Structure 1
Amino acid sequence: MEAFPQLHPCLVGASFGGANSYGQLGLGHKEDVLSAQQLSDFCKPGCIKRITGGGGHSAVVTDEGSLFVCGLNKDGQLGLGHTEEVLYFTPCKLLLGCAIQQVACGWDFTIILTENGQVLSCGSNSFGQLGVPHGPRRCVIPQAIELLREKVVSIAAGLRHALAATASGTVFQWGTGLASSGRRLCPGQTLPLFLTAKEPSTVTGLENSQAVCVLAGSDHSASLTDAGELYVWGSNKHGQLASQAAFLLLPQRIEAHCFQNEKIAAVWSGWTHLVAQTDLLWLRA
């Protein structure tokens, strides 16, 4: 779940506030913080490029491609080789020398994208969210998702599922997090393979589009195309998919009139909502 959009590469520090039960704010304690406190020293001399958060852990990618993590780690979601909580942002030494492009934090797992397009995962694998179908129930060391053989350009993590978009525009999904909602809300209908797969599975219904970015909320997924179109699927409990259906088994394009016929330039996903930026406007769903 992408908690924050990509940040300006010249931003050296960052401010954190809110729930801190597991030390996910990186402040060295577990007290909730009601007003944002600035962190400016933990990643010098690099600049902060991306910030993201999961169920109880946080991750920062610097402009130099280093990965810093903190917070809840009971399933090894910090990728540090152990399961102890970490109260300060700590470099992921197991990935030193490996330039990181993007990190996506799920509830209790982490997906990592390197600059050369390889995807790694760590943390809980109880729902197949690590993309390693025959792997252990958890992994404390980042491991490559070998079935993603093509270069990946974008990743996303939801509550218990994950996605990747490749350089050719294909979207893959894995993890069974959406399956139970799909069965309950679409009785009698056959679930597509990508909703039940514990390894990367091609998302059907996107064959005529080229994805440049994927997103995930707790129980929904989305894909932005090179034509500026937004496709969505999964739970629509809070109307986040701009559809009348309670659950979309297959990707459905949100009609252009919903965005005042503007091309979509960027999209972000929260727990149960989406935010889209058009060429001229900001719109929410």
Structure 2
Amino acid sequence: MKGANSYGQLGLGHKQDVFQPEALKEFAGNQKTLRNVAGGGGHSSVITDTGELFLCGQNKNGQLGLNHTEDVIHFTLCSSLSGCPIVQVACGWDFTIILAGNGHVLSCGSNSFGQLGVPHIGRGCSVPQKIESLKDNVVNVAAGLRHALAATDNGSVFQWGTGMVSHAKRTCPEKTIPPFLGAKEPCKVTGLENIQVKSVTSGSYHSASLTAEGELYVWGSNKHKQLVSKYDFVLRPQKIDTHYFLDEKIRRVWNGWTHMVAQTGTASETEYNMQKYFCLDDP
């Protein structure tokens, strides 16, 4: 772990910035294999191969799910989820989205923009709450600055949190804003009908979905041309033409604050013979 550490988000037991990588003592040599790692505005999370969720860092909105709001400088087990194996976690600016092995989604932290997907909660909560309105089994989740996404096992995508809607209204003042951009609980993303989505990713104010056929659909802010569109804001999912990827299928996608990275390959899902990486951002 290295980098900014103002809130103890590196989990090293202090709050000093770190300029050289340091091993996490909690996990080094104890035979715990880490399966998923995620970072938010000032907090971090890891999932072990046994489905345990550990978090650390900034916690003023309860985004660590530890039933308090004090910052934590060591990776700490989320004990309220004991007995509930976790398969993925996504960290937004000041909230956390948690995917359990049974396909249920939980959330904790700030809810000022409806990013928890649980409308009856006020400004936030410090214990993970199940998002009851997500009825289908979820297979993948993502978090932006103040919005979140979920892909279900039937290929649908849901979005919630109002973090993108002000950008949409400012950039597209004369156009109708799709409901999913301003929803405070999971709302189906329109424009992906008859498309089998397998995963979702998100930047600060943009979202993306990757289909089972290796096609990439994007929407949201395009201020830095990360969505490869002529518009400054893409209101509904728009497919990025495959010629940008040398007509290859996309295997994986990652999002930064205002850019995207896509990996293509001609091999199977489990073993790539050839792979290329494409960065979509400012020239």
With normalisation by structure 2, the TM-score equals 0.94
**CA offset digits 1:171-209 (Å, max 9, x no partner):** 000000000000011111110000000000000000021
Of 197-206 and 269-278, more deviation after overlay is shown by: 269-278
| 3-state secondary structure, aligned to 2:23 | strand
Alignment match of 1:284 (pick from 271, 279, 282):
279
**1: CA distance, partners of 2:130 / 2:31:** 28
Aligned AA for 1:230? L
Which residues of 2 match residues 205-244 of structure 1 at below 5 A?
Answer: 205-244=191-230
**2: CA distance, partners of 1:270 / 1:49:** 20
Which residues of 2 match residues 1-285 of structure 1 at below 5 A?
Answer: 16-42=1-27, 44-279=30-265, 280-285=275-280
**2: CA distance, partners of 1:96 / 1:60:** 15
| Counterpart contact for 1:174–1:199, Cα < 8 Å | yes
Q: In structure 2, what is the equivalent of residue 6 of structure 1? A: none
| Counterpart contact for 2:5–2:17, Cα < 8 Å | yes
**CA offset digits 1:253-281 (Å, max 9, x no partner):** 00000100000011111111111110131
| 3-state secondary structure, aligned to 1:238 | coil
Aligned AA for 2:201? L
Give identity over the alignment, percent.
63
| 3-state secondary structure, aligned to 2:126 | strand
Structure 1 residue 40, shift from structure 2 partner: 4.3
**2: CA distance, partners of 1:157 / 1:276:** 18
**2: CA distance, partners of 1:38 / 1:214:** 30
Any unmatched runs of 5+ in structure 2? Answer: 266-274
Of 32-41 and 227-236, more deviation after overlay is shown by: 32-41
Q: In structure 2, what is the equivalent of residue 7 of structure 1? A: none
| 3-state secondary structure, aligned to 1:239 | coil
Aligned AA for 2:105? V
Of 234-243 and 159-168, more deviation after overlay is shown by: 234-243
**2: CA distance, partners of 1:19 / 1:242:** 31
| 3-state secondary structure, aligned to 1:33 | coil
| 3-state secondary structure, aligned to 2:6 | coil
Aligned AA for 1:39? L
| Counterpart contact for 1:42–1:89, Cα < 8 Å | no
Structure 1 residue 134, shift from structure 2 partner: 2.2
**1: CA distance, partners of 2:122 / 2:82:** 24
Aligned AA for 1:284? C
Of 32-41 and 118-127, more deviation after overlay is shown by: 32-41
**2: CA distance, partners of 1:172 / 1:143:** 17
| Number of corresponding residues | 270
**2: CA distance, partners of 1:217 / 1:62:** 25
| Structure of higher RCO (CA pairs closer than 8 Å, 6+ residues apart) | 1
**2: CA distance, partners of 1:38 / 1:244:** 44
**CA offset digits 1:75-119 (Å, max 9, x no partner):** 000000000000000111111111000000000000000011100
| 3-state secondary structure, aligned to 1:128 | coil
Query: What is the root-mean-square deviation of aligned Cα atoms in Å?
Result: 0.9
| Counterpart contact for 1:109–1:121, Cα < 8 Å | yes
| Counterpart contact for 2:26–2:75, Cα < 8 Å | no
